Chains A and B, each alone.
Chain A
């Protein structure tokens, strides 16, 4: 295994070539400030719209990637909307989701959908996740790992359904990080944070874009307006 001496040799070479010792208060201070404050840089105009515009921008951006986007009035109407989409896609009325409290409250009794919970299984056709936040600037969902929304649900099944509360839709990546910092504490992240901006794709053969490489072939997003 690597020894302390390799580490010291690398850090030492860096210091020698930068002409630094490592204990200069000025350098240390600059670094500490930058870590503790993470000051924002340039935020593009397109990342700073108001909510109505953000919704349009987010929807248009995802649709341009072949994503289905449905606006749903409230959580009560969500199971019905999901059932409709599964039927449209010709998929079995089954899905798997995690322990997210919001998903746990959904009442599926008016639909034929059977739900299971936990991490993804290989033969799962459809999964359902809740995005903790999203950014309108590029139509990007932000998903975090854990029992609430196991990360394998984002990648193994061929169809991935994602619920986003409209109130969780941010403009910029930076705002989305602020929300995540508020949940996990500054400087801490869960094991996996996924930005998802479309279904899996590959352009490795003659630069032709083909959807459905290793991850989901289909992505559908449900924007729930409820406050």
Chain B
């Protein structure tokens, strides 16, 4: 997908003004939070399991080269093939090659954020294939020619009425007077339409939630069962995934699965968790005849051993997104690329560059909720701060902001001078704002104050108050003595 992350500010402004979007967001957001809280409270070991999940991933990342080699060997032993792609372009080429070799026409797809990352659908279409998204939410955004707005709920930004209108617009063979007012009716209609595609498909492409080195398996988690029909029915199955999805063994997957669904949708476990290991075996009556795993790097190996390595622990549960006040206000599309919310604000600059995505780490109120609800204990706010520093160093932030920060930091490193400049300034602001208690406008901060008020300072700086407090304590101690 073509990134538009550099437009975060206008994107966000447009999202705030979009009343339909605001209605959809309001309906959707509260559910996820209360469900996760309940699931967590029902499993006393939840926090310990998160700590363990973090350790499992840290161990895997520290030995990633070795686990990848074992994984490749196990896939090959089970009759499958592993392909390596450094860039999105290479991954697209590999997949197009497999589809051509299979003489494919219809290609079913399970939800895959990596497929979005490499803009796979446009490439498949350009090469004459018909890719069909089979996850209901992903299917809806596909017929709207949009992209997912949430990593686990692609149609998070839409109301039922919008989906109804899209189905009436695109499913022209069906009775015009049919009722489509209930979600059940919409789901049933999509089931009917997609069943036909499942049967026709020559190639199925899915992502993977985990890769297991012990057995060479790809693990995929869904509620709909669409990934399973994508895996089982076509002649060829391609798993498109990335190198950091690895875990050592089946016990490790079991441990992480205990926190995945609970963090994501608040379920104890999703309806279907599937372990796919190679093609159908001789004599098997169903399953794919050929099985490929495309392993994409796309910048991830460069995150190892550096300040953003922790981000590679992410299991894409979406919890940080569900709890983010900024995402809750503007939705996913404002972020302008595949990964929205706090995890996107950290990951996107790593994958497409700080020049393109430098605004995203600023789209945070630093409330810290994302880190608190992340089952993999990823220090998201700290990493957003790292990106802000990088953006600053590379001169990507606006001039006036850079100059003020520079001036302030110069001043702050000179305590005497700082006090002499800031003392009177704070006194002045305190006097000025005394009556109202806050400011609605200040020179050079008009934009910032447009949607918030700044509390007026108490008229004395922290330094002064601290000094007073110290003096008071000394006096009291003197009296007692």
> Which residues of A come within 8 Å of B, CB atoms?
1-2, 6-7, 9-11, 13-15, 17-20, 22, 27-28, 30-31, 34-35, 38-42, 44-46, 61, 65, 98, 118-120, 122, 137-140, 145-147, 150-152, 154-156, 172-174, 177, 187-208, 210, 212-216
Q: Which residues of the partner chain B approach A151 to less than 8 Å between Cβ atoms?
A: 228, 232, 286-287
Partner of A147, one of B163, B283, B288: B283
Chain A to chain B contacts (Cβ below 8 Å), 8 pairs: A10-B68, A11-B65, A15-B65, A40-B251, A151-B232, A189-B277, A193-B274, A202-B137
Return B138 CB to nearest CB of chain A, in Å: 8
Contact B231 A177 (CB under 8 A): no
Q: Is B272 an interface residue (CB 8 A)?
A: yes
Q: Is B94 an interface residue (CB 8 A)?
A: yes
Is the contact region of chain A dominated by helix, strand, or loop, or is it mixed?
loop
7 closest residue pairs by CB, A with B:
A215-B225, A204-B137, A213-B224, A173-B254, A13-B301, A38-B249, A17-B305
Q: How far is the CA of A22 from the CA of B65 in the complex (A)?
A: 7
Partner of A18, one of B56, B277, B304: B304
With a 10 A CB-CB cut-off, give which of B68, B94, B276 has the most chain A CB atoms: B276
Partner of A146, one of B62, B273, B281, B295: B281
With a 10 A CB-CB cut-off, give which of A39, A205, A206 has the most chain B CB atoms: A205
Q: A201-B224, A204-B155, A214-B224 are in contact. Are A187 and B136 (CB under 8 A)?
A: no
Partner of A38, one of B251, B275, B283: B251
Contact A189 B223 (CB under 8 A): no
Contact A42 B255 (CB under 8 A): yes
Partner of A207, one of B153, B214, B274, B275: B153
Kindly report which residue of chain A lies nearest to residue B227, judged by CB atoms.
A214
- Interface residues on chain B, size class: 35 or more
Q: How far is the CA of A216 from the CA of B295 in the complex (A)?
A: 32
Contact A195 B269 (CB under 8 A): yes
Contact A14 B86 (CB under 8 A): no
Q: Which residues of the partner chain B approach A40 to less than 8 Å between Cβ atoms?
A: 251
Return B188 CB to nearest CB of chain A, in Å: 7
Partner of A17, one of B32, B248, B258, B306: B306
Contact A207 B28 (CB under 8 A): yes
Contact B213 A35 (CB under 8 A): yes
Partner of B229, one of A119, A199, A215: A215
Q: Is B116 an interface residue (CB 8 A)?
A: no
Partner of A204, one of B62, B78, B140: B140
> Which residues of B come within 8 Å of A, CB atoms?
24, 27-28, 31-32, 43-45, 48-49, 52, 56, 59, 62-70, 74, 78, 83-86, 90, 94, 97, 134-137, 140, 153-156, 158-160, 163, 183-184, 186-188, 190-191, 194-195, 198-199, 213-215, 217, 223-226, 228-229, 231-233, 243, 248-252, 254-255, 257-258, 265, 268-281, 283-288, 291, 295, 297, 301-306
Contact B27 A206 (CB under 8 A): yes
| New A-B contacts (6) at CB < 8 Å, excluding given A10-B68, A204-B155 | A44-B44, A61-B268, A122-B195, A152-B232, A208-B183, A215-B225
Partner of A212, one of B155, B159, B187: B187
Contact A210 B184 (CB under 8 A): yes
Contact B136 A204 (CB under 8 A): yes
Return B97 CB to nearest CB of chain A, in Å: 6
Q: Which residues of the partner chain A approach B232 to less than 8 Å between Cβ atoms?
A: 151-152, 155, 192
Q: How far is the CA of A35 from the CA of B74 in the complex (A)?
A: 12
Partner of B45, one of A45, A139, A190, A201: A45
Q: How far is the CA of A40 from the CA of B163 in the complex (A)?
A: 45
Q: How far is the CA of A20 from the CA of B61 in the complex (A)?
A: 12
Q: Which residues of the partner chain B approach A120 to less than 8 Å between Cβ atoms?
A: 286
Contact B254 A177 (CB under 8 A): yes
Contact A213 B285 (CB under 8 A): no
Q: How far is the CA of A87 from the CA of B381 in the complex (A)?
A: 57
Q: How far is the CA of A201 from the CA of B217 in the complex (A)?
A: 24
Q: How far is the CA of A113 from the CA of B208 in the complex (A)?
A: 39
Q: How far is the CA of A82 from the CA of B43 in the complex (A)?
A: 35
Contact A192 B255 (CB under 8 A): no
Q: A6-B85, A35-B213, A191-B276 are in contact. Are A197 and B283 (CB under 8 A)?
A: no
Contact A195 B274 (CB under 8 A): yes
Contact B155 A205 (CB under 8 A): yes
Contact B254 A174 (CB under 8 A): yes
Contact B279 A201 (CB under 8 A): no
Kindly report which residue of chain A lies nearest to residue B228, judged by CB atoms.
A155
Q: How far is the CA of A7 from the CA of B268 in the complex (A)?
A: 37
Q: How far is the CA of A40 from the CA of B258 in the complex (A)?
A: 13
Contact B287 A192 (CB under 8 A): yes
Return B264 CB to nearest CB of chain A, in Å: 11
Q: How far is the CA of A20 from the CA of B65 in the complex (A)?
A: 9
Q: How far is the CA of A175 from the CA of B258 in the complex (A)?
A: 15
Contact A204 B154 (CB under 8 A): yes
Q: How far is the CA of A41 from the CA of B287 in the complex (A)?
A: 32
Return A175 CB to nearest CB of chain B, in Å: 10
Q: How far is the CA of A145 from the CA of B153 in the complex (A)?
A: 29
Contact B276 A192 (CB under 8 A): yes
Q: A1-B83, A138-B269 are in contact. Are A202 and B285 (CB under 8 A)?
A: no
Q: Which residues of the partner chain A approach B160 to less than 8 Å between Cβ atoms?
A: 205-206
Q: Which residues of the partner chain A approach B291 to less than 8 Å between Cβ atoms?
A: 191
Return A100 CB to nearest CB of chain B, in Å: 13
Q: How far is the CA of A117 from the CA of B287 in the complex (A)?
A: 16
Return A153 CB to nearest CB of chain B, in Å: 9
Q: Which residues of the partner chain A approach B275 to less than 8 Å between Cβ atoms?
A: 189, 192-195
